[in-house]
């Protein structure tokens, strides 16, 4: 078990009291293993950080198959037990994450993005990146995972009409309260952004930055962590594009005691949310719909529609688009379940062969 020094060290990596009760049962099974956090993943090589510092690690094949059989994979932010071996380590168990953000890949498979998140910063640049439909999509992602979100409008220093933009976002989400903590504007290159985000950056908190490429996530990571280790778009590299883009997720410690996970801009974000989850994320539409004149109002051109009255046309359009997308996704749900069952059969077959071989 952890002594108080180890606990304090792990707290700076985001360990909180809710994880601890899950620990004893797993520690008994793996007495020589240490509790560490996955801070980066590069194919099958993991960067792990724990009370004794950072190390490289790999996942034990047995754990990999067990996770796969449930359609799961490790993600940055996971707490795991790792058994040191030389200057590397084997990950032998994963503490079930308290929260997890994931998307669907083009084939419909679940792709984990990050685990154990206390707050998501949804970064939207106040330049040509500004797009409320994308923000609505990110809000479904965070709300369906029960992760509170702060909308962070970056590049405030480049925006000529900041009060108008802020008012526009606030109006867009005026009747929506589920999981939305605040809407703020920052200049990510300035240290002032630390004080704007301070309420969410306490000791033991883990935040994730989400947003499209170039929105300013790495710039904000540098400022909040007081480091310059994350390369940002302004750095010219010797590649043909001459512009750095983040290619993997990574966890960084901030001076405030919080941890922040920088993520690459997602080119596509197919949600892992059914129609019901989308409806719950649009709490404004759900609540206002109670006051529509017709119970089965489609919020189209019916008279007495409270939704059309109270929600902006853009927000309603987002709702309808994401609903249609979720319904299409549900059709392939059965197909996905069949494929998962097939994978489980393969894993069981391999395990059986290994067991039989063990008997020879």
Ligand X SMILES: Nc1nc2c(ncn2[C@@H]2O[C@H](COP(=O)(O)OP(=O)(O)OP(=O)(O)O)[C@@H](O)[C@H]2O)c(=O)[nH]1
Could you say which residues in the range 130-159 bind ligand X, by CB under 6 A?
154-155, 157-158
Q: Which of 134, 75, 97 is nearest to 266 (CA)?
A: 134
Cα–Cα distance, 301 to 245 (Å, whole number): 44
Of these, 232, 250, 256, 318, which contacts ligand X (CB under 6 A)? Answer: 232
What's the closest the beta carbon of residue 124 comes to ligand X, in angstroms? 10
Task: Give the β-pairing of 206-210 and 119-125.
Answer: parallel
When the beta carbons of 236 and 345 are compared against ligand X, the nearer one is 236
- Residue 30 near residue 81 (C-beta atoms within 8 A): yes
What's the closest the beta carbon of residue 219 comes to ligand X, in angstroms? 3
β strands within the chain, DSSP E: 34-42, 45-50, 53-59, 79-85, 88-94, 100-104, 110-115, 119-125, 149-154, 180-185, 206-210, 250-253, 259-262, 270-271
When the beta carbons of 252 and 315 are compared against ligand X, the nearer one is 252
Of 40-48, 58-66, 232-240, 309-317, the segment contacting ligand X by CB under 6 A is: 232-240
When the beta carbons of 242 and 304 are compared against Zn ion, the nearer one is 304
What's the closest the beta carbon of residue 205 comes to ligand X, in angstroms? 21
| Residue 215's binding partner out of ligand X, Zn ion, none, with CB under 5 to 8 Å set by partner kind | ligand X
Q: Which residues form the interface with Zn ion (CB under 5 A)?
A: 292, 297, 299, 305, 307
- Residue 284 near residue 316 (C-beta atoms within 8 A): no
What's the closest the beta carbon of residue 204 comes to ligand X, in angstroms? 25
Could you say which residues in the range 183-222 bind ligand X, by CB under 6 A?
187-189, 211, 213-219
Distances (CA, A) of 226 to 83, 194, 210, 220, 222: 31, 10, 19, 10, 6
Beta carbons within 8 Å of 105's beta carbon, 6+ residues apart:
111, 270
For binding to ligand X (CB under 6 A), which residues are involved?
154-155, 157-158, 187-189, 211, 213-219, 232-234, 245-246, 264-265
């Amino acid at each position: 078990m952890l002594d108080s020094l180890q606990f304090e060290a792990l707290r700076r990596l985001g360990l909180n009291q809710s994880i601890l009760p899950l620990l004893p049962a797993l520690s008994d099974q793996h007495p020589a293993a240490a509790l560490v956090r996955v801070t980066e993943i590069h194919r099958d090589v993991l960067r792990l950080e724990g009370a004794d510092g950072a190390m490289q690690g790999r996942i034990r094949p047995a754990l990999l198959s067990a996770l796969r059989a449930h359609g799961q994979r490790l993600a940055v932010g996971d707490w795991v037990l790792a058994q040191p071996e030389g200057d590397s380590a084997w990950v032998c168990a994963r503490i079930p994450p308290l929260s997890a953000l994931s998307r669907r890949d083009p084939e419909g498979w679940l792709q984990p993005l990050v685990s154990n998140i206390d707050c998501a910063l949804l970064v939207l640049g106040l330049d040509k990146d500004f797009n409320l439909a994308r923000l609505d999509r990110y809000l479904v992602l965070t709300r369906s995972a029960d992760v509170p979100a702060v909308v962070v409008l970056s590049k405030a220093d480049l925006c000529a009409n900041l009060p108008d933009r802020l008012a526009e976002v606030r109006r867009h989400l005026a009747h929506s309260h589920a999981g939305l903590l605040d809407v703020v504007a920052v200049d990510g290159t300035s240290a002032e952004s630390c004080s704007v985000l301070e309420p969410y950056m306490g000791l033991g908190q883990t935040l994730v930055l989400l947003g499209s490429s170039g929105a300013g996530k790495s710039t904000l990571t540098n400022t909040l962590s007081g480091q310059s280790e994350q390369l940002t778009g302004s750095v010219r590299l010797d590649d043909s594009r001459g512009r750095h883009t983040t290619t993997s997720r990574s966890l960084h410690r901030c001076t405030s005691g919080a941890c922040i996970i920088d993520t690459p801009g997602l080119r596509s974000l197919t949600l892992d949310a059914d129609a019901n989850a989308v409806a719950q994320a649009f709490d404004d539409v759900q609540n206002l719909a109670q006051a529509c004149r017709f119970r089965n109002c489609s919020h189209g051109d019916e008279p007495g529609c409270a939704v059309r009255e109270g929600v902006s046309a853009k927000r309603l359009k987002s709702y309808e688009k994401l609903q249609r997308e979720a319904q299409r996704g549900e059709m392939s749900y059965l197909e996905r379940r069949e494929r998962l069952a097939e994978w489980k059969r393969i894993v069981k077959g391999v395990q059986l062969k290994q067991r039989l071989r063990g008997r020879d």
